[in-house]
Chains A and B, each alone.
Chain A
C-alpha cells in the first residue's frame, strides 16, 4: 500500500482543521503519515492533537530551529523525511507557510510541485481552479514524488477519531538554512470569530454598509461566521485590510458566502466565486453580483439583516 506524507499544520499547540482536510485528501491515495515539526518539548502535545482524520502514523521531529529559522529549517526537515520514507505524494496546506516550504522542498529534491489544489484523485491528479475560479485545470506532477499544496476549506474533512502510532525521529538542518533568524514573533490579535479563509460561512460588507458594520457583524455572529469586506470598505477605513476579500485580498471558498451591500466588481468576485452557496443583499437590482447569487435580496441591508439575524437565532435556539 502506498503512503502519503502530510505536513501537519498547527494553530498554537492544536492541529488545524486544514490538517484533517489534507489527511482526508491523502487517504484517497494511500495510508497517511503526518509529519509534525515542533519546538523542543512540544512534540508530544502537537502529535496528540492529531486525533481526527484518517492518519495512521505520526512522525515527530523536535527542534528549536523550526521556530528560530522558520520555513528554511522546516523545508530541510520535510525534504529529509521525504528522502527517508519515499511516499507516493506529499500534501501541504496551501497557506503562506505551506506554499513556501513546498516550493523550497521541490527545488531541493528536484520534484514537481502543484499549488492550490482543490481536489486530488487516487492517481495523484490534482484539480486546480485558476483565473479567479473561472477555469478548472487538472494537473499531474511529472517528475519525482509530487508535492501538492491543498487550499483550505475545499475538501470535506473526515473527522473520524484517529489513534495513529507516534514515532520520534530527527532530521539534519543545514547551515545554509540558519542564515536568517527569527528574533521575535507575535500571533495575530484574534477576535472571537473564525479565520476568514478557513471559515465555513463568511458574511461580507461593502460600500452599502456606509461604514456601519454592526448589522453585518451581528448576522455573522448569529451564524458563527467570519466577517469579510470589499475593497471599497477597507480602502475607506471602515474595516481592517486583513479582512478584504478579492483579488488583492483573501480568496475564500466557504459553504456559504453572504455579500451585503457589495455590487460585485470582478476583483471581488475573483476572491469569492468558488463559494458553494452565495447570498446577495443589495439595494441596487442591477448589481452584477446578483448573477452569481443562489439567493438574492433586493433591499436595504439595514432592513433585511436584523430580522434575518433574529430568525437565525430563533432557529438555533
Chain B
C-alpha cells in the first residue's frame, strides 16, 4: 500500500515523479523523500509558474492517494480551514427541543446530555484541514496548503499546532489526531514573508526557473507535436525574457501555454509575426508588452536564431 513513507530513496522519488511528467532535480527529490520519511511538511517557495502546485498534484498521483487542497486568502479562519458547526441545523434542533419541552414540561436532568448531543459529530462540518487528519482514513492524503502568503499571520499561528502535532483541538469535542500523517506541502509566492516559527517546522525548498535543458524536456513532455526547433527557440526566448528584468517574468506555466498556442497555430519556427500574435500567452503586464513590441522581441529572436 503506497503511503508517503513508501518512497525508498530520493532516486526513486525522481523516477516516479518523472513517470508522471514532473521533472524534479536532485535537491527537490531529496526534499520530497525526506518530507515523506520524516513526516515533516515541505515548504516550497519560488516565482509564480515554476510548478509548486503541480508538485502536490503529481505526488498525490504517484502515491495514489487523495489530494486535499486548501487555497489561502486573507481572513481565512478556522471556520473555513478546519471545521465549523452546522448552525442552521443546531438552531433548528434547539427550537424543536424547546417546542417539545414546552409541551412535556422542563426536564432539568437531561439538559447537559442534550447540549453534548448538539456538539457531536452529527453537527460538525469538516473543512480541508480536519479532513486531512481524519483518523478514520485508511490512507494518508496529500494536503496542499496553497499560496500561504495570501493568508494572514493569524492563520499561520493556527497552522503551528496542526503542523507540529498533526492534531486539531475542538473545544466542544476534544482533540482529533491523525492516525497517519498526511504528506503536507505548503507553497508561497512571497508576497509576504512566511514567519520563521513556521519555516522551522518545515523542510524548505526553493524552486528556481529550470535550466534550458530541463525546460525543453518539460515542454516536450507536456506539449504533443512540438517541433524540436521550436522547443529550443521557445526555451531561449523565455530565458532571455527572464534575464531582461520584466515586471512579471514568464514562468514555466507560461512557456508551456505559449508552446501549446504556437503548436495549435502550426508555427514551425519563431518569427516576429508569430511572437506578436501570441504575446498574451507569455507576458501579462502592460509595460512588458510595450517593451516586447518596442524592439525587445526582435533582439531576443536574433539572438535565438544566431546561437
Do A and B pair up? The answer is: no
